[in-house]
Amino acid sequence: MSTLPVIAAVDGSDDSLVALDWAFDAALVREAPLRVVHVQQYATWAQPVALPTGRPDPEDDPVLERVRRYLDGRTEQPATEYVALGGAPAALLSELGSTAELLVLGSRGRGGFASLLLGSNGMAAARDAGCPVVVVPKPGREVHDDMPIEPGPRVVVGLQVDSPDDTTLAFAFTEAALRGARLQVIAAYNWPLHVWTAATAQIVPPSEDQDAVEAETRTLAEGVLAPHRERHPEVHAALHIAPGDAAGRLVSASRDADLVVVGRHRRRVLAPASMIGSVTHAVLLHTASPVAVVPPTPPEE
């Protein structure tokens, strides 16, 4: 049982209710409390304030009252708290990550007085929050690809063999175990490779053949996965090695998936600020399934 809550950010839009459903189920499977948060936006130069918590009066916050009615009557429910905040959504949603096991929000929100979960706010939360952020897309997003997909619950995770992220893999294995799902591990490698030679000022074919590159990728990937498989023997983890663009492979695999798991870009000495890598950014924009963006483990002092 988790003591940290699963936070669902809502704004009254239908998209945020889809994200709320995902967060509701995630809280149940984790035996964690659910915290439903509505950020009432005001000018960015004003001072953030916290509005009353608990069951807000409908006149005070109609969005939370609608959510409360939406969840009423469900047979099994996690312990649920309703919180109203005032301020800049991008900043407040990111700050909430320090007090949550998961932060869940829709990929886009609504306009008007509750213009909260816009794409920029979701991207800011995925970039800055201290916990994994799950972005739930609008239902019906299509992925045009003929990749064969086995039926049944499935979690997808990307693996960069030359720079593996154990935190992201650990999250994906745990999520698959919680859901009783298969884990599909996508390890893409660059091909075709081209080498620039200064002697001839030309691009020439690589000396290695594709089979050798694929075999090396598989060997490295299996070594990275071994300790995670040992910790989660109940999870069937299938490794998929493929040439080409990693983001494209993950988007293709997202069709009918329960979740796609990606890592957030690691901070570097010359770029200490939080940032989202190009693969994660593309996956957030195009996948058909919910996407979990996992922050890296902070480096030890």
Strands 195-197 and 202-204: antiparallel
Minimum mean pLDDT among 51-55, 208-212, 260-264: which range?
51-55
Where is pLDDT greater, at 45 or 67? 67
What pLDDT is attached to residue 299? 54
Name the residue among 182, 132, 117, 187 with its Cα closest to residue 152: 182
Q: Are 103 and 34 in contact, with CB atoms under 8 Å apart?
A: no
Give yes or no for residue 118 having a pLDDT over 60.
no
User: Residue 98 is encoded by which pair of tokens?
Assistant: 């320090």
CATH 3.40.50.620 region(s) of the chain? 6-136
Read off the tokens for 124.
């800011």
The residue length of the chain stands at 301
pLDDT at 224: 95
Global pTM value: 0.84
Alpha helices in the chain (DSSP H): 14-30, 62-71, 89-96, 119-128, 166-179, 210-231, 246-253, 278-286
pLDDT value of position 56:
40
What are the beta bridge partners of residue 9? 37
Closest CA to 22 of 109, 104, 116, 83: 104
pLDDT band at 264 (very low <50, low <70, confident <90, very high): confident
The pLDDT assigned to 205 comes to 58
Residue 69 main-chain phi, psi, to 5 deg:
-65, -35
CA distances (Å), 192 to each of 189, 198, 204, in order?
9, 20, 11
Would you call 64 helix, strand, or coil by DSSP?
A: helix
3-state secondary structure at position 241: strand
Q: Cα–Cα distance between 246 and 250 in angstroms, integer?
A: 6
Compute the average pLDDT of residues 1-25.
90
Q: Choose the most confident range, by mean pLDDT, from 25-39, 119-133, 195-209.
A: 25-39
More confident residue, 54 or 15: 15
How is domain 154-294 classified at the architecture level of CATH? 3-Layer(aba) Sandwich (3.40)
Mean pLDDT of the chain: 81
Residues of the chain with CATH 3.40.50.12370: 154-294
pLDDT in tens, 84-112: 888 888 888 889 988 899 999 987 654 43
- Which distant-in-sequence residues (6+ apart) come within 8 Å of 139 by Cβ? 18
Note the pLDDT of residue 137.
87
Query: Does the structure show a pLDDT above 60 at 62?
Result: yes
- DSSP string for residues in 76-128: S---EEEEEEEE-HHHHHHHHGGG-SEEEEESS---GGG--S-HHHHHHHHHH
8 A C-beta contact, residue 214 and residue 154? no
Confidence at residue 270, expressed as pLDDT on a 0 to 100 scale: 45
Lowest-confidence pick of 47-61, 131-145, 238-252: 47-61
CATH superfamily, domain 6-136, is HUPs (3.40.50.620)
Q: What is the pLDDT of residues 30-59, one digit of tens each?
A: 999 999 999 887 644 445 444 444 444 434
